[in-house]
Structures are given as structure tokens and as C-alpha cells.
Structure 1
Amino acid sequence: MAPSSSTSQFGPIENAKKSRKPPSCDPCRARRVLCHPQPGGAACPRCAEKEIICTTTPTARGRPRKNPPRQGSSIGRPHQTIPSLVLHPQPNFGTSVDCPELSPEFVAHCLEGLSPNPLFHHPLISAAAIMSEIRAVSFQLHLLPPQTRVLALCSIAGGSLLAFHKSVLGDGPRPKSFDDNDFFSSSPDILGCGVRRAAACRALRAEALKAAWEVGIILSPSNENAASCYLLDLLEQTDQISSAGRPWATAYLAHARALAPNWRPPSGLPWGEFFWTAFLMHEGLISARGRTPAIITAQDQLFFCGPERSLETLLESLESSANNASVSLLWTSIKSYMFNVTTLARQLLDQITGDVPRSNPLSEVAVLNFLNSLSKLHSTLSLLLDRIDGFTIVPGIDPSPDASIEVLLITAAYGGCHGFGGLALPFYRELQYREACGGAPQSDRTQGRLRALKMQAHDMAVVAGRELARGIRYLPKIHYAPVHWITIRAWAEFVAEDADMVTADGAPLDAEAARDLVTFADELKMLGYSLDAASTPETLALIERLEGHANRALVSMFLPIDYEAKPSTGTYHPQR
């Protein structure tokens, strides 16, 4: 009897193909190291040790066909199944060798720097309670649920912009603490910190984006996903040129609209509405700054903030209550002020700077109305700052359990100045653009009126620049605001241009103008601690230009500038 085709007197014939070793995972392939794939989709030992996501992208094997069938055609193949389309293909997020190890010690360090940052206290982040969740697992991120882990990664990516950990800054000079006054006062290496941290920050941000895409946070409304989208948009604002579409901001607002009915603050606790008003103002100013469609609607303002007084009514109220120093009046007035800033930001886009009004001749009525509104806004801001400057801190009175009243006063003062400046500069730049690009032929009389309006807008921008410099000086000497990089850079360029114009005519700069120039130069340096963009040759030249004007002005006047810091205790009377 003939032997079987699969066996012989020497044993079974090994004519079956040997099983192939599974492909290496993406992180090991990126690092070019040996991978040991595990059965059942488990993470490989190397990824498990480094606590990173272990994914494997399949690769096609064999030669490609010369004439592949067209997927959209089924002629002659009535029974062919058309493959389903991939609706949301994942971008190729590679794991970088520059990404620091997410050890519990490193995670705790990054999150520590975020605590005093006002932008981290968004109501969405408070609703997600991310700090409590991370502490509950002893800062071990792999123990968190997927959506919470994404939020943690986004928070760490934001904290890395402020961190001084060796994994971020390397072996060079760095502060000893987040409030190391000696380092930030005298170290010449502040701008170098932004350069040294850039690679690690980009890698951490890429890890957060990769995790966010894998979980699909942009599609599923939840407290955690909304907060993650908000933080990813904040990180986008630290770029020199941020995305015009702002997909993460659009997503977090869409999530907030869906979730808000479940967690609106109860009556009698207006702080949720107060903070929402502040953050909606922030969003409106970003749209005005970038001349992009407003993502905040009038319905959003009413739903999240409630109805508010008009600017005229607010101004009348402040003037008639000059002797009323109550806390409640101050906060309600600041809330109304921020609400009106958001409304004016949308008006600026809809009537003057947006794509639709820019495609038509400039409306003189719209320009005059906006100038009038800016004038009222400045008068309101001046009254509010007078109230803040003269406010006495009463021990035991704290309107928010998460922040002291002094911190709220400082934040409100800077926010008010930031709001006024965030409208005045885009308005002036638009009129400057309209004059430069020309357009339809106009009579000499019309051109003269438009030039006069542009000069009024310029004068308003000069006032707004001085108010913003004043607002910066309200902040502690050591503060971290990398999200405002684009705004501060634009204002620094404007005040430098204005100083060029003044000195070109032979007129000297006054002491206040010189002080403002130094304020913007110092703020660019402070931003250079966090951002690589602040150390580019263009920014370095801008800092030298600002300081050069200030030094020449001070030498000509022989007048010292008082840079005395605001006292941290007692009555709040800053020397501004």
C-alpha cells in the first residue's frame, strides 16, 4: 500500500507553510527596535513597560496587481460585494522618540503647573473632575478609562508648556520652581527654555491627538470629550498660525450645547455663568483676531450666560453707583462687560471684517457705530479698573471656593483690558487694509472721510495698547500665558510701529509709552519660556526694537520707571 501523501516512514511531511511572525507594532517600528507581539491583541512588553498605546498598522504584502478592479464598477459582476468605505481614516500619528516617559512623577509635575492658570479652570474641565480622577489612580494613566485618559494626556500636553522637568528642558538652566523669581528676573536663558522644550511638547501633543482620534472624542458628547476638545484647541492657539477652521473648538462647543441642560448651575450660584461669560468672550476675541466666522452665537450667550444689560445701561449703572463698593455689583458689572465684548466681536465680523462685508464697499455707518461702541467700552473699562484698584480685600469673603478674591480681581482686570484690546486692533487693521487695497473708485471726499475714520481707529488702538499693557502689569511678575502668544505678538508689533511713527517725526516718547514698550518686550520674553516661536529671529528683532525705543526715551528724559510689583497681601492698591 502506497504511503500517504502527508506521511512517510520517516514521519509527517512538513508541506504546510510555517506560520508567520505577527508584524511589529507601530511604536517599535518607529523606534526601529525588536518587537515581541503578544496574542489576543495585548500590548507588547516594550509598550506595556513605557505605558504607551500599542497599535499595529497592517501592511499589504505581495506584488500589486497591474489592472486592479475599479471599486465603483459592478458591470459584469452582479454578485460582487463592494467593500465598505472607511468614513473616518486615522491620520498617521507616529510615536516620537522625543516623547517623555509618562511616569507618575512627571504627570504630577505637569499638572501642578496648570493649577494657577485661569484657562485651565473652564467649567467643562471642572465638570470632568480630571484632577480627582488622576489622583485616584496615583497618576498612573494606564489605569484610567479611555476618555478620561485622553483628557489626562491633553492636560499633560498643556502642562508641558510650563513644566521645568528634566524630561522637557533637558540638562540646561531651568527654574527651581514655578515661582522661581531669581530665574525669571535675571536668567538670560528664558528664551532658550522655549527652544529646548519644543520637541517634547510637540511629541506630547501628538500623543494626545493620537489618543483623541482613536477614542473618537470629536463624535461622542461627554464631559471628558468636551474638555479634551477645549484643551486641544488651546494648544492650537500656541502655534504661530493657528487653524482657521478650529475643529476642536467647534467640537467642544457642540458637546457643550448637548450637555448643558444636564449641568447648568442652580439658581443662586452664578459663578458657572460668570466663568462661561469669560470663556465665551475668549472665543469671540479669537474669531475677531483671526477674521474667521464666529463660533459663538447670540443663542449661546443667552443659554450659557443669561440675558445681560446693554453697554449703555451698564455705563449708566457704573456712573450712578460710584460710591457703591459691593462685591456683587463689581462681579455683575464685569460679567455684563464681558458679555458686551463678545457681542461686539460678532458685530465686528458680521459688519466690517468678515468675508461678506469685505466683499462689499466699507460701510461708514458700521464703522461709526463701532467707534462709538469702542468709546463706551473704554469708558466702562476705566470705571471698572478704578473699582478694582480701590477695592479692599475683606478677610473671609470669597465668592468662589476655587480661587481667592484677589486672583479674581487680577484676572478680571487683565481680562477687561484684553477684551478692549482684542476688538480695537483688528478693527484698525481692517481699515488699514481697506485703504491699502483700494477697491472701487471713490471720490476725494469719500476717501478723506475714510482716512479720518482710520485715524480715529488708530487713536483708539493706541489707547487700547496702553490699557493692555496696564492689564499685563496687573498680573503677577511670574505668569504663564502661552495661549495669548498671537495676540501679544500682534500688539507688540503695533506699539513698535507707533513708536517708529512718533520718533520719525522728531517727537520724543513719553514715560508712559516707554514703560509700555518695556512691558510688551518683557511679555514676549516670558512667552519665550514656553514657546519656541518667541525665540525666532523676527521676535528677537522685535524685542530689540521695543527695548531700543524705550531706552532712548528714558535716556533723553533721565526718568526712572517704577516697576514695583503689586503687594500680595492687604489692601489691593497696585501702582499702575
Structure 2
Amino acid sequence: MSTFVMSANMTLKKPPACDRCKARRVLCHSQPNGAPCPRCEENNVICTTTVVARGRPKRTLDIVPLPRSPSNNTSPPPPLLPQPVSKSPAHYSELTPEFVAHCFSVLQYTPQYDHPLLLNSSIMVDIRFVSFELDRLPPQSRVLALCLVCCASLTSFHPSVLGEGPRPESLTDKLFFSSNQNLLSCGVRRAPAYRALHAQVLKAAWDIGIIFEPSHENAASCWLLDMLEQCEFAGASRPFGDACIAHVRVLAPMWRSAAYTVADANNWAGHLMGIALTSVRSRTPLLFTPNDQLLLCGPQSGSLNDMVMALRSAPADLSLLHTWLPPYMYHVIHLCRELTDTIAGDSARINILSETAVINFLSSLSLMHTALSPTASPHRRIHRDARRKRISVCPGQSRTYFGLDFREMTEGTVLGDQAHDRLRLLRAQARGMAVLGLRELSRGIRYLPKIHFIPVHWTTIYEWAQFCAEEAEKVVQLSCDEVRDIKTFANELRLLGYSLDVASSPQATALIKRLDALANT
């Protein structure tokens, strides 16, 4: 029997790089016998190595699933529910530099991406430095660029996204966006390409673990992915939103020690207000704490009454808008937190509804609406400019009404007759405030340009449009203002159909037809 003798010139094959070093594209000094590499041992993390199979994959047969019987589940699906992606659509091409450059060019038409995490990042400079080739970017910057491309695909008119069919010449093509049927067809043709991009982004994000390592790029990527999740699912769980706030909580002290300006604090206040309003809409706790708000936005002095009195006595010029918006956003966040903690939140629902909390909340909403109403305040031009900046008025009014409606049904038998009557009176008052909020939101939408893209607000617009239809069906003779509000929400749903697959949702199309029938009655 011959024996194998290793010569002195023969060397052992180097073990493969570990997963952490491979994700960061750094040299890995792999150790034999399963010992951790020096980098992982220095950072005190678990060193794992995933063996990648090489060579041609084995040929497998395509298995055709058997037809299944229809499900007995009769619960209605959400307004928009994305379908799983099995393969890329026929018209979807690779992420060529030309397509990536096109996606970055359409971001200027989406003001929702004017976020401080994106404004202070170098992704716009980095993507141009590598000539829009995503593979040349570092891993975290590449995931952020993929997130931006996926978000831009919701408004893109590129043939790779829309495929064959009518599409606008540009995002300022007013003639095309006046055609309602073409808008809905764009959302249907866009859906396969968007879902393929979304699946690619999620895979790339999980491969490098963006929710685990706090960095500027990972925080921005988590915020964009949370925005996309809210656009499609609008569920109670927000893993990417929680991860974004966790990263910001780590990075904020470093921002404060550097050149942190008043404009940065005001910009963060506006986006925290948006997060708070989204939490109120979904009846979930706020993602950020009061300490987070204090760290990002700074302290705010003065009560809501002081803000209203200062607004009424100040001169009507545009400088008032910049001095009045920061306290306004602070009080909106405060009211959202008060609504969650004392009325509509899960912890508040354990106990009997506090009439004092409801009265105080409705009084604060009424006071804020009085300050913002064009008929009750002389600063008409200031209010017009505020609406153009998408400032939300009367936050949480519809959610307050639905919350009180639920509390009355569950606790009406427990409370006495007098308490039951008082609760019904408060419910009617909350409903009246919701109608005022509906009118203000409709007026704010009409102040926006004809072409604007707000796909991330699909759930908000859909719920308000439903509430508008319910209120209109109770009226025998609609006024001109009410008809105009109905047409506003119907047109807004169609405009959302340019970005989202609205035409494939039976509930959404039925709501549009319902609004059209009310407007034409």
C-alpha cells in the first residue's frame, strides 16, 4: 500500500472568508479548526462562514402545483396587497447606469424624500462618482442607492418600469396626467417591476444587516424601507421604522456635537410629526420617545394658547411662517402622544374611557383649528403657504372619532345612562371635528400642483375618501363645497393609481366609482 507524503512545497488551501468580512469586502484572516478570525474576535461578534456551492447547479424539474379549492376565509383584504414575485417581468431590465441615472433624476419630483438623513448623506455625490454603477459602491451605500431606485420606480416613466403602453413624456406632462384611465393602467403595468426591485432591495438589506449596525446610510435605508412598507401594508409592526429610530438615537449625539443648526432641528420636527401622525392613523405607539424629540428638535416653550395668541397678534408676512411652524409641529406631536396615551392607545383601552381626557383633547383640536382656519384668522396667505408645504391640520380627528365609536360599543353596557349619553355627545363632537378635518385636507390637496406624487400616503387618502363617501351618503342635497371635496378625493385616488396598483384592488375601484356616483347625483 502506498502512502501519501506531503512535500515541503505544498501548501494547504486557504479557508473561505467569514460572512462579516465578506459583507464588508475586507481581507479575512480565516483561522483553522473553526476559530474566529481576528476581526470578529476584536469586535466580540460571532464569526460564521457560509459555504457557497460552486459549479453548475443540478437540473431540477418544474413542478406544476395542483389547483386548490377556494378558501372559506371571507375577511376582506387590505386596499392594496402586493403579490409575491416569482420572477422578473419581461420588460424589466437590469440596473443599467442609464436606468439608475433616470431614477435619481425623478427624485426631485418627490418631496417626501427631502429627509435630513438623505440631505446630509453623500449618496448623490457617490453615485455620480461611480458613474451610476451600483456594484462599485460600498455595501451600505449600495443598499441606500437601491432603496432610492426602488422608491423612484413608483414615479418613473422609464420603459423598463412601465413596459408597453401609454406613458407620460415627462413628470410635467399635464395632458397625460389629466387622463384618468391612463393613470390607472400605469399602476398596473408598474407593479411587477416595482415588486421585483423591492424584493432585490430587501435581499440586499438583509445580506449586510442594515438593522443591526447604526450608520448614516443604514438609518436612511431603514427609513426608506419603512416608507415603502407603509405604502403597501400599513401594518402595526414597523421593524424598519424602529431600526431607523434606533440608529438615529445613536447618531444624534454626534450630530449635536458637530454643526447642528436650527434648520436641522426644524427639519427633524417636521418628519417626526409625520411619524407621529402615521402612528395615530394606525393606532400604534409612537416610535420615538420624548427624549428623542428633545435631542433632535430641542426644547419648546409656551402652551398652545400662547402659540394661538402669538399667531393672531403677529403681522401677516412670510417671516411668520418660519417662526410659527416649529411650535405648531411640537404641539401636533404632543397631541398625537396625548391621543395615544389617554384615549386610543392599547394601554388606555384597558381602563374605562376618561371623559376629561376626551374633552381636553377635543378642546385643543378646536383651538388649533381656530388658529388655522382662513375664515377665523386674517393670515390667509400664511395658511395658503402652509398648505403648500403639506402641513397637516387637525391631526388625528378621524382616528379620535373611530376610537370613541369603538369605546362606546364596548363600554356602553357597563356605563350608566347619563355616562352613556355624555359619551355619545362626545362622539358626535369628535365626528364634527373629523368633518372639519376632511374639509381642510381636501382644500390642502387642491392647493397642491396638478402633478404631485404621494404614494406613501395611500392609506391616509383611502381612509379619508371612505369617510368622505360615508358623510356624503347621509346628506339629502349636497352643497357645491361637498361635491368639490368628493371630486378632489376621487381624482387623488386616480393620481395614486399612476404609482400604485389601484386598478387591481376591488375595494379601491369600488370606492372611486362610489365617489363618482355621489358627485354626479
Shorter-chain TM-score category? 0.7 to 0.9
CA distance in 1, matches of 2:375, 2:472: 28
1:148 aligns with 2:141: yes
CA distance in 2, matches of 1:187, 1:250: 37
**Cα offset for 1:269?**
3.8
1:517 aligns with 2:517: no
Which 5+ residue runs of structure 1 have no aligned equivalent?
7-54, 62-92, 393-405, 553-576
Q: Cα gap change, 1:101/1:389 in structure 2, threshold over 3 Å: closer, same or farther? A: farther
**Cα offset for 1:548?**
1.6
The aligned runs of 1:75-224 (5 Å cut-off) are 96-98=87-89, 100-224=93-217
1:374 aligns with 2:365: yes
Q: Cα gap change, 1:237/1:388 in structure 2, threshold over 3 Å: closer, same or farther? A: farther
Contact 1:238/1:484, CA 8 A, preserved across alignment:
yes
Kindly provide the amino acid, as one letter, of the partner of residue 193 in structure 2. A
Q: In structure 2, what is the equivalent of residue 538 of structure 1?
A: 507
Q: Cα gap change, 1:94/1:550 in structure 2, threshold over 3 Å: closer, same or farther? A: closer
Q: In structure 1, what is the equivalent of residue 330 of structure 2?
A: 339
Alignment match of 2:391 (pick from 412, 415, 438): 415
Contact 2:185/2:503, CA 8 A, preserved across alignment:
no
Q: Cα gap change, 1:383/1:182 in structure 2, threshold over 3 Å: closer, same or farther? A: closer
Q: In structure 2, what is the equivalent of residue 325 of structure 1?
A: 317
Partner deviation per Cα, 1:153-185 (whole Å, 9 max, x = no partner): 000110011111111111011111011101011
Q: In structure 1, what is the equivalent of residue 16 of structure 2?
A: none
Q: Cα gap change, 1:265/1:94 in structure 2, threshold over 3 Å: closer, same or farther? A: farther
Q: In structure 2, what is the equivalent of residue 461 of structure 1?
A: 434
The aligned runs of 1:481-520 (5 Å cut-off) are 481-503=454-476, 508-520=477-489
Contact 2:85/2:195, CA 8 A, preserved across alignment:
no
1:548 aligns with 2:521: no
1:244 aligns with 2:236: yes
1:290 aligns with 2:310: no
Q: Cα gap change, 1:315/1:410 in structure 2, threshold over 3 Å: closer, same or farther? A: closer
Further displaced range: 243-252 or 476-485: 243-252
Kindly provide the amino acid, as one letter, of the partner of residue 435 in structure 2. V
Contact 1:277/1:339, CA 8 A, preserved across alignment:
yes
Q: In structure 1, what is the equivalent of residue 443 of structure 2?
A: 470
Q: In structure 2, what is the equivalent of residue 274 of structure 1?
A: 266
**Cα offset for 1:390?**
2.3
Q: Cα gap change, 1:409/1:467 in structure 2, threshold over 3 Å: closer, same or farther? A: closer
CA distance in 1, matches of 2:221, 2:379: 34
Q: In structure 1, what is the equivalent of residue 401 of structure 2?
A: 428
Q: Determine helix, strand or coil for the equivalent of 1:390.
A: helix
Partner deviation per Cα, 1:50-98 (whole Å, 9 max, x = no partner): xxxxx98659x9xxxxxxxxxxxxxxxxxxxxxxxxxxxxxxx988323
**Cα offset for 1:298?**
1.3
**Cα offset for 1:242?**
2.2
Q: Cα gap change, 1:285/1:441 in structure 2, threshold over 3 Å: closer, same or farther? A: same
Kindly provide the amino acid, as one letter, of the partner of residue 282 in structure 2. G
CA distance in 2, matches of 1:438, 1:502: 29
Contact 1:338/1:416, CA 8 A, preserved across alignment:
no
Q: Cα gap change, 1:534/1:269 in structure 2, threshold over 3 Å: closer, same or farther? A: farther
Partner deviation per Cα, 1:212-235 (whole Å, 9 max, x = no partner): 111111111111010000000010
TM-score (norm 2): 0.80
Contact 2:177/2:183, CA 8 A, preserved across alignment:
yes
Contact 1:381/1:416, CA 8 A, preserved across alignment:
no
Q: In structure 1, what is the equivalent of residue 248 of structure 2?
A: 256
**Paired residues, what number?**
445
**Cα offset for 1:416?**
3.0
Contact 1:168/1:197, CA 8 A, preserved across alignment:
yes
Partner deviation per Cα, 1:138-157 (whole Å, 9 max, x = no partner): 11101101000000000011
Q: Cα gap change, 1:56/1:410 in structure 2, threshold over 3 Å: closer, same or farther? A: farther
CA distance in 2, matches of 1:193, 1:157: 16
Contact 2:312/2:377, CA 8 A, preserved across alignment:
no
TM-score (norm 1): 0.73
**Cα offset for 1:129?**
2.2
Kindly provide the amino acid, as one letter, of the partner of residue 486 in structure 2. L
Q: In structure 2, what is the equivalent of residue 572 of structure 1?
A: none
**Cα offset for 1:119?**
1.6
CA distance in 2, matches of 1:350, 1:384: 32
Q: Determine helix, strand or coil for the equivalent of 1:238.
A: helix
Kindly provide the amino acid, as one letter, of the partner of residue 369 in structure 2. H
Contact 1:134/1:144, CA 8 A, preserved across alignment:
yes
CA distance in 2, matches of 1:515, 1:307: 41
Contact 2:285/2:345, CA 8 A, preserved across alignment:
yes
Contact 1:528/1:535, CA 8 A, preserved across alignment:
no
RMSD between aligned residues: 2.6
Bigger-Rg structure (1/2): 1
Which 5+ residue runs of structure 2 have no aligned equivalent?
4-49, 58-83
Kindly provide the amino acid, as one letter, of the partner of residue 416 in structure 1. S
**Cα offset for 1:535?**
4.4
CA distance in 2, matches of 1:263, 1:387: 39
Q: What fraction of aligned residue pairs are identical, expressed as a percent? A: 48
Partner deviation per Cα, 1:526-547 (whole Å, 9 max, x = no partner): 1111111464121111111112
Q: Cα gap change, 1:473/1:57 in structure 2, threshold over 3 Å: closer, same or farther? A: farther
Q: In structure 2, what is the equivalent of residue 36 of structure 1?
A: none
Q: Which has the higher contact order (CA 8 A, sep 6+)?
A: 2
1:437 aligns with 2:429: no
Q: In structure 1, what is the equivalent of residue 41 of structure 2?
A: none
Q: In structure 1, what is the equivalent of residue 65 of structure 2?
A: none
Alignment match of 2:305 (pick from 305, 312, 319): 312
CA distance in 2, matches of 1:444, 1:217: 55
Q: Cα gap change, 1:191/1:458 in structure 2, threshold over 3 Å: closer, same or farther? A: same
CA distance in 1, matches of 2:454, 2:223: 16
Partner deviation per Cα, 1:424-459 (whole Å, 9 max, x = no partner): 011011111222334552222111111111000010
Q: Cα gap change, 1:384/1:110 in structure 2, threshold over 3 Å: closer, same or farther? A: farther
Q: In structure 1, what is the equivalent of residue 78 of structure 2?
A: none
Q: Determine helix, strand or coil for the equivalent of 2:231.
A: coil
Further displaced range: 440-449 or 197-206: 440-449
Q: Cα gap change, 1:525/1:231 in structure 2, threshold over 3 Å: closer, same or farther? A: same
CA distance in 2, matches of 1:390, 1:423: 25
Contact 2:502/2:509, CA 8 A, preserved across alignment:
no
CA distance in 2, matches of 1:285, 1:193: 29
CA distance in 2, matches of 1:509, 1:246: 40
